[in-house]
Amino acid sequence: MKPDSRPAPMDRIERAHLKDPGDTSHRMYRYPVDQEFHGLLQRFWIPVWSVPPGHEAQQRVLQYPVSLLVVARDYARFYGVVPGLSTTTLSGNGWAVGVMCAPAAGALIAGGSMSAYTDRYVDVTDVLGAAGKRLTARVRAAMADDPHSPRAHGDAMAAFGDALRPFLPVDDDGLLVNRVVAFVEGEREVTRVAQVCAEFQVSERALQRLVHRRLGLTPKWLIQRRRLQEAAEQLRASPARLGEVAAVLGYADQAHFTRDFARVTTMTPGEFAARHASPSRDRS
């Protein structure tokens, strides 16, 4: 039994998606990656959306510290990490096939430091060259008929696998940053960079260099992002307990928590909790 009364955690991906209750704009398919890609890739996701004419649906995500590769009908992109709130606007009918990389993967795919890709994206051909063109063509061919087809999904994911397999095996620094991120995300008691340094027996300077090179971020950001994701999870589960949520997450006071949360999500914790209070929210 856990030493506190917090509810069981959401799926670690679900808690990052600040999907409004009642949003039926899309259906999300999620798939694990094959074992051979362990350490390089984390999972695939395939959203298929249909938004009425004249309307838009905003999808907001407290992104994890990883790069993304996404192929849609009209774009194919390699994304660095968005430090703030990642927002995608859906309209009309469409689909996309994406892969969530492991922390190690971004610098391998980009061929250098991920700091150049923080809060920005480039075409997949900028990082994959001819392999990016083949990937895009194969994914679009796979999804040409029925975007809900499991066979089409499998063909699209196989295309990603063929394009990214050359980046295996993951290097030692990549394995280390994977472990660092997993530690920060998995340990709720980690609230200071010094705790991460102690766990991995590295200096703060060495940790700073590793995280900046491989993720384009800072160790402090990793901790702050996990706390905000957990806050979003807790507020959806216990919307009336703002002070308790702040305390559980290690904030000195509720005002500090409110400032951090509102700065990134553009909503106060109270506003977020009120929006997500509906018991009928979709957890697809």
Q: Report pTM.
A: 0.85
Among positive and negative, which fits the CA dihedral 241, 243, 247, 250?
positive
The pLDDT of residue 125: 98
Q: Name every residue whose Cβ is closer than 8 Å to that of residue 251 and which is 6 or more positions away in sequence.
A: 227, 257, 260
The pLDDT of residue 266: 84
Band (pLDDT 50/70/90 cuts) for residue 2 is very low
Backbone angles phi, psi at 266, to 5 degrees: 70, 10
Where do the domains of the chain lie, and which CATH numbers do they carry?
Answer: 14-167 (2.60.40.1180), 172-275 (1.10.10.60)
- For 41, counting Cβ atoms within 10 Å of its Cβ (0-12 exposed, 13-18 middle, 19+ buried), the class is buried
The pLDDT of residue 142: 93
List the single range of 36-40, 95-99, 198-202, 275-279 with lowest mean pLDDT: 275-279
What would the DSSP string read from start to end of the chain?
A: --SS-PPPPPPTTGGGB-PPTT--SEEEEEEEPPGGGBTTEEEEEEEEEE--TT--EEEEE---SS-EEEEESS-EEEE---SS-EEEEE-SEEEEEEEEE-TTHHHHHHTS-GGGGTT-EEEHHHHHTHHHHHHHHHHHHHTSS-TT-HHHHHHHHHHHHHHHGGGPSPPHHHHHHHHHHHHHHH-TT--SHHHHHHHHT--HHHHHHHHHHHHSS-HHHHHHHHHHHHHHHHHHH-TT-HHHHHHHTT-SSHHHHHHHHHHHHSS-HHHHHHHT--TT----
Task: Give me 270's structure tokens.
Answer: 């109270």
What are the tens digits of pLDDT across the range 115-134? 999 999 999 999 999 999 99
The pLDDT of residue 112: 96
What are the tens digits of pLDDT across the range 232-276? 888 877 665 777 777 777 777 788 888 888 888 888 888 888 877
